[in-house]
Amino acid sequence: MTDADEAAPTVAVVGGGAVGVTTAHDLAARGAEVTLYERDELAAESSGRAAGLLYDAYAEDIDAAIGARSIERFRAFDRSLPGFSFSPCPYVIAVREGDPDADAVPAMVDRMRGHGREVSVVDPAALGERFPSLRTDDLAVAAVAEGAGWTDPPSYVRALADRAAGEGVAIETNAAVALGPRTDAGRAVRIRDAGSDGSSGTETRAFDAVVVAAGAHTRSLLAAAGVSVPVVPYRVQALVARRDYAGPMVYDATADAYLRPHLEGLLAGDGTEPVPADPDDYRRAADDWFREDIAGVLDERLGRVDRPDDAGRPDRGERVDRDLGDARAWAGLCTATPDGDPLVGPIDAAGADPTLFVAAGWQGHGFMRAPAVGETTAEGVLASLAGVAFDDPDSPWVGAFDPERFDGDEAFEIAEGMSLSNRTEER
């Protein structure tokens, strides 16, 4: 590595999604010479297909801190980043009658409040009065987080990439990379560039550090460099229905589905397939079963009890949300790890001078964590290059996210990241 007093550290960031772009931006803002490589276009993969729900309602200490910092930065970017907007919107956690997780919600909310989050348990009837668009008579319990919001994920990536370029980041799209060995000149990166004119070429460059933030491609990219990480892609689905909706964001915990306002109407989703997916060959269109399931969720959550039937029982009227034939639907990929926490930090730290870093494994929460995780990764890389050990008290790295807490070849079942059990059980 070059003397930090004579030259800025050179860093390659691999991955043009929200985490990669934020990391590149924050590295450059701190004086690094940064090149961002994306094999396609910016936000072409998971960030471009993300739901855009933003909240800091977490019960765990680390999650709450990261969520709060991300919301803080999202709000700041709303004021200062052209092309990006943050739309404040309450976030409702709804649990239906008969769901055994309902009893755990008050304690979960108490832990969230202990972290300073503005979250409260709300009587279902009061929730219905506050948000008339929601049906609440079938709920056992509900909670509302006030400091939440939503955005369009691709707009964040593109707007921050523009600012990163202004900070001096060289952004190379349609550039596939392969990681090479550590050399005396740094970490080798082989770049295969597909030119816009159809030409192609390959070059090898050396960097003081390489950050792999390649989402679903992280495992295969690192494997080619002889590094094994337990980051497994899995498929999720969402759709945008063209119907008016001005209510809160809602996570129906019993149905494991969410919905939020969208500029074109209403965004809803989950459709998780808890099996490994091939990031180079997965179905990008939504499945018929997902459309049917999410239509049922919307019918249950947005139907209204507005009149009794002849026997005096509630009659919810027509199933107005069943027709989603004009909905725009898609599938994307999330990444899972054995314990549900991401891998963020040096991945070749056997020596005192790491050159390879990873930021991956988000369990569906990568976009909403990107502002905080990108900041931490940038600060951590520069600290590591300056000789600060991962476990040093002054290190910016998060100990619980240490990539080397795993051997890398662990077999595990994929657990959906938004599930209520993941919020109520201490890890």
Q: What is the pLDDT of residue 182?
A: 87
Spatial contact of 360 and 231, defined as CB atoms under 8 Å apart? yes
In angstroms, the CA 107 to CA 235 distance is 31
Q: What is the pLDDT of residues 61-82, one digit of tens each?
A: 999 999 999 999 999 999 999 9
204 C-beta neighbours (distance < 10 Å), count: 11
C-alpha distances in Å from residue 284, one per residue of 237, 281, 329, 342: 9, 9, 9, 24
| Amino acid present at 247 | G
- Cα separation, 58 vs 426, in Å, equals 11
Q: Which tens digits make up the pLDDT trace of 179-203?
A: 988 888 889 999 986 655 555 678 9
Q: What would the pLDDT profile of 342-393 be if each residue is shown by its tens digit?
A: 999 999 755 557 899 999 999 999 999 999 999 999 999 999 999 999 999 9
- pLDDT, tens digit, 9 for 90 and up, residues 284-302: 999 999 999 999 999 999 9
Do residues 263 and 244 touch, judged by C-beta distance below 8 A?
A: no
User: For residue 349, what pLDDT is reported?
Assistant: 55
- Give, in order, the Cα–Cα distances in Å from 53 to each of 87, 188, 303: 10, 37, 22
The model carries a pTM of: 0.92
